[in-house]
Amino acid sequence: MIQKQRSTSVNLVSYPNLETSTNVWNDNEANYCNYNFGYKIKLKNEKLIVKRTCKPSQMHLLSHRSETFLADWLKFSPATIVEIDSQLELEQIKMWANQCRKCGKTVFLRLFQQEKLDQNSHKFNYLNQLIKRWSDFLGALILLIIFIPILMAIAILTRVYLNEPVLQKQWCVGKQGKLFCIYKFGGNLRKINLDILNKIPQLFNVIQGDMSLIGRFPWSLTEAIKISSSEQDYRNLNIVPGIIGAWQIKGNS
């Protein structure tokens, strides 16, 4: 790889037009970045920051290693929080998220300027957050107790007659870019046009603290990567996603 770069630079020097040679080099460098990128990794306190880079001098050894190697590497990493750059490929983000989840590490997706998100997060009243968290927890627990017979019937139906997993997971983006798995019923059960029934598994997300009973709908990874850096998106990213949207409550009232 290094020899290829040297030979290219020598050929560029032979061009009489310096401006043309610079453009050729920039095109080659852009193509190299598009097809030969790796990870730039930095450990800051207990946070592991993973960014995309195309400079060979900055690439970490994990850039060209297998997922099994990444899993073993994360087990011995002192980091408790992993922050992943949204510029990585979607499958790469999912791979990091899956392995971090197995190792018990909290993982975040870096969408915007993290400093601005952190500053906005302090504007919320801590007491109000605590009250809302306990209200969500107790409400979700009561609803789960009520729906336990339905959940058991669906589980038996799915395993015996449909022969598929009862619950499936999907990576979503929560408050301040935190990644979490949202729970859904199996493929055949989701075809049933019962919105309330399909939202029952998300009560487990509420108990875990990743979701609220009422709030913005959770973004999927694909949606989160495509969103803009507008002020509205900043505000939405500081809100815990909910099972039921606030606009639905206003619409029914």
Task: Judge whether 191 lies within some domain.
Answer: yes
Task: Judge whether 77 lies within some domain.
Answer: no
SS (H, E, C) 159-214: HHHHCCCCEEEEEEECHHHEEEEEEEECHHHHCCCCHHHHHHHHHHHHHHCCCEEE
Task: Judge whether 236 lies within some domain.
Answer: yes
Task: Judge whether 63 lies within some domain.
Answer: no
> For 63-101, how does the pLDDT look when each residue is reduced to its tens digit (9 = 90+)?
888 899 999 999 999 999 999 998 898 999 999 999 999
Cα–Cα distance, 30 to 76 (Å, whole number): 35
Average pLDDT, the chain: 76
How many domains does one find in the chain?
2
Regarding whether 248 and 153 lie in a shared domain, the answer is yes
Instruction: Tell me the two tokens of residue 202.
Output: 């998300």
Regarding whether 220 and 126 lie in a shared domain, the answer is yes
Task: Judge whether 183 lies within some domain.
Answer: yes
Domain that holds residue 3: 1-36
Task: Judge whether 142 lies within some domain.
Answer: yes
> For 135-194, how does the pLDDT look when each residue is reduced to its tens digit (9 = 90+)?
999 999 999 999 888 888 888 877 777 777 778 888 999 988 899 999 887 766 655 555
Residue 100 is predicted with a pLDDT of: 94
Percent of the chain with pLDDT over 70: 70
Cα–Cα distance, 105 to 77 (Å, whole number): 10
Task: Judge whether 82 lies within some domain.
Answer: no
Give the global pTM. Answer: 0.74
Say if CB 95 and CB 70 are below 8 A apart. yes
Between 29 and 15, the more confident residue is 29
Backbone angles phi, psi at 242, to 5 degrees: -125, 165
Residue 217 is predicted with a pLDDT of: 85
Task: Judge whether 180 lies within some domain.
Answer: yes
